[in-house]
Structure 1
Amino acid sequence: MTVLVQETAPERAPARVLARIAGVGTASTAEVHTQSEVLEALGVTDPKVRSVFLNSAIERRHLTLPEPGPDGLRHPEPQGDLLDKHKRLALEMGAEALLACLQNAGRSLSDLAHLTCVTTTGFLTPGISALLIRELGIDRHCSRADIVGMGCNAGLNALNVVNGWSVAHPGELAVVLCTEACSAAYALDSSMRTAVVNSLFGDGAAAVALVSEATAPSTPADPSTPSTSPGPSTASGDGPRILKFASCIVTDAVDAMRYDWDRDQGRFSFFLDPQIPYVVGAHAEIVLDRLLDGTGLRRSDIGHWLVHSGGKKVVDAVVVNLGLRRHDVRHTTGVLRDYGNLSSGSFLFSYERLVREGVTRPGDYGVLMTMGPGSTLETALVQW
């Protein structure tokens, strides 16, 4: 008896759908002040407060301060005026960053299918996304969302959400826009309580475009466990593919970073606990290990680090706890020096500098890291 065995072709792994960064764009306000100029504008004379400003590793910031009064000093603006300022600056910077991002991606406003806007420095209803759609004449059927109040980590929170939207809509263009008018969120005084905040933040907006398409299968097939070879891709642009996200919230420090109502000032104001750098540093290793878990990658395999410019001590804490070199965070410290802390969009300013540097190569891995209220650390693993 002869048994015929029919040969079957080996099963092929299904094509993966991954989002790729297709473009980036940034913008800031026109008014620039050195740290010394801000000290003089606020009339700060206390040596301890002055030292906070002058030892911040920040040289200049984009800030739209109130006009000097008869005494030559800048005085606090009413909360209503600050909300008006936020609306004006956030929309101006946001529009500029969005258009720059689309140009960098080789796209136009007519290509935009989804827009998520991020801000913490003011509250608007309807949100920035709706106002920008009207202002720029974007298709009114454009999908949109607004993320408000999440703070400096929110850019990566938004990227995570929009990455999911992009994967579910292959070939369609999505943009995350972070626009932070920190000039509209200041308590202008010369006290030590506000010194850390007043010495740190600046105005800025940054946008990043995502497009996803099916990529040829590689081994392993799970996107969370990328291969060491880049693998072919038909996604738009030369930016990296987004492989994985990981988060960590330190609930014991939930009040350490906050933006809430100051009854004495009769307005909202930021508060940053002096222990924040150490909280962030102590948990940076935990969240990074979670990000790399199951990928087969070690820290030494990461060629590019884009860390939020949260402040000198925060950056130092991350460098020490992760065993990084100063060169690894050169763009983080460069953005801090030239702009200060730009809240949710800071890491995209660093990403733009990395793109302009032109040192990435196919197959390189990168880690994006932000931190903010919660206290929260957010990370993403990408590959060029």
Structure 2
Amino acid sequence: MNNNTSTRDLHPTFLGLSSAFPKNAYLQKDLYETFGKQMYADIAALERIIRRVRVKRRHLALDPNEVLSRKVGLGERMAIFEREVQEVGGRSLEGVLHKVDRETIGSFVMASSTGYIAPTPDLLLARNHHLPSRLRRTFVGNMACNGGMNALNVALDSLMARPNERVLLNCTEFSSLHVRPEESNREQLVVHALFADASASTVMGMEPPGVGPQVLDFTSTHLYDAVDMMTWRLVDEGFRMTLSPEVPGLIDKHVDSLIGTLTARAGLSTGDIKHWAIHPGGPKIVEVLGQKYGLSDSQLRSTWHILEEYGNCASATVYLVLEDMIAQDKPQPGEYGVMLAFGPGLTMEGALLRF
């Protein structure tokens, strides 16, 4: 932060983004021929349903075919999580940490819903990557796909309270650890065809316009009558997700209030939003939002790209979209954008950005 800059000109700013993935990548067509046909052979239109998900490739810490050949217990799954969160998460962190003085990082907020260990992964990563021992840590768990936005909310609060410090944010997820042989139904087929593994990191600071994408506002909407539409619960051999086909319709019905709050408070209209970093919770959600707001192919390019090439990586996904958008679409200074994510609750969260 420039000491000559008025604090009124400063906003929470992304100073860099970085991502990392498990080393093993799997083509969806290959998983269909093996795991898909063996697990879901009795489901009509199996191939069409998998194609409809639009995922072409995924990085996975646990090969789905392995759970068909032997029992993989919860303890082994969590041991894989502890190993991979340090390896993959560490590569993601180093992608942003090498650009900053680590002694300036006062807070570290991390989101993950796919594994549980204590000490929590943020402490292990802080130790491994030589972060200050006075570090304030917040671990956001069990919030699933919108966990990354909740981590952002915590980061914003930290920056407002201590504007001279940097905040490190990380989201690391390994949904592949929770693939299990179980009842064969369309819902679980979609879940197991959609989700994947990734880590995303960013460092944030209070900066004037022009340094990086700035967060101008943040808001949340909770649909309390829809708590059963998306769930994430512990079962004997891992976690089990449920995902209702009614979720895209609920988002379509209620997202206007979320977007309207962000734009109205900034004196903007929806038409002023040029860049849309949408968490691709599934193809139907992306299609609904694209149709609702008349988004062009170029405005949805980064969202579709991440879904197709990496899958739904839970809390990390919206940061993967933002990272790709900045690198490929190159938003111009002064242009506006939004980050949107959706998760259990049913919860919708959004941030207004200025590039």
Both proteins in one fold, TM over 0.5: yes
Match of 1:96 in 2: 91
Deviation at 1:74, TM superposition (A): 4.3
- The CA distance in 2 between the partners of 1:329 and 1:74, in whole Å, is 39
Please state whether the residue corresponding to 2:100 is helix, strand or coil.
Answer: coil
Choose from 38, 41, 47 the match for 1:45.
41
Match of 1:335 in 2: 306
Choose from 189, 201, 206 the match for 2:200.
206
Match of 2:54 in 1: 57
Q: Which moved more, 1:106-115 or 1:309-318?
A: 106-115
- The one-letter amino acid paired with 1:179 is T
Deviation at 1:327, TM superposition (A): 2.0
Match of 2:188 in 1: 194
- The CA distance in 2 between the partners of 1:65 and 1:345, in whole Å, is 18
- The CA distance in 1 between the partners of 2:246 and 2:317, in whole Å, is 21
Deviation at 1:351, TM superposition (A): 1.0
With normalisation by structure 1, the TM-score equals: 0.84
- The one-letter amino acid paired with 1:377 is M
Please state whether the residue corresponding to 1:293 is helix, strand or coil.
Answer: helix
The CA deviation string for residues 160-189 of structure 1, in whole angstroms up to 9 with x for no partner, is 111121122223211110000111122245
Task: Please give the residue correspondences for 1:251-262 in structure 2 after superposition, counting only pairs within 5 Å.
Answer: 251-262=224-235
CA RMSD in angstroms, aligned pairs only: 2.1
In structure 1, runs of 5+ residues without a counterpart are: 1-12, 216-232
In the alignment, structure 1 residue 171 sits paired with structure 2 residue 164? yes
In the alignment, structure 1 residue 274 sits paired with structure 2 residue 245? yes
Match of 1:316 in 2: 287
With normalisation by structure 2, the TM-score equals: 0.91
Deviation at 1:16, TM superposition (A): 4.5
Contact 1:186/1:198 (8 A) holds in 2: yes
- The CA distance in 1 between the partners of 2:260 and 2:180, in whole Å, is 38
In the alignment, structure 1 residue 292 sits paired with structure 2 residue 289? no
The CA deviation string for residues 354-375 of structure 1, in whole angstroms up to 9 with x for no partner, is 2212521111111110111111
Task: Please give the residue correspondences for 1:132-143 in structure 2 after superposition, counting only pairs within 5 Å.
Answer: 132-143=125-136
- The count of corresponding residues between Structure 1 and Structure 2 is 345
The structure whose Rg is larger is 1
Match of 1:361 in 2: 332
Deviation at 1:127, TM superposition (A): 0.9
In the alignment, structure 1 residue 15 sits paired with structure 2 residue 12? no
- The CA distance in 2 between the partners of 1:203 and 1:78, in whole Å, is 19
- The one-letter amino acid paired with 1:65 is L
- The one-letter amino acid paired with 1:295 is A
- Residue 14 to residue 88, structure 1, CA distance change in 2 (3 Å): closer
- The CA distance in 1 between the partners of 2:29 and 2:69, in whole Å, is 14
In structure 2, runs of 5+ residues without a counterpart are: 1-5
Contact 1:24/1:206 (8 A) holds in 2: yes
Deviation at 1:278, TM superposition (A): 1.5
Deviation at 1:292, TM superposition (A): 1.2
Moved segments of 4+, more than 4 Å: 66-69, 72-76
- The CA distance in 1 between the partners of 2:16 and 2:201, in whole Å, is 8
- Residue 352 to residue 266, structure 1, CA distance change in 2 (3 Å): closer
In the alignment, structure 1 residue 31 sits paired with structure 2 residue 13? no
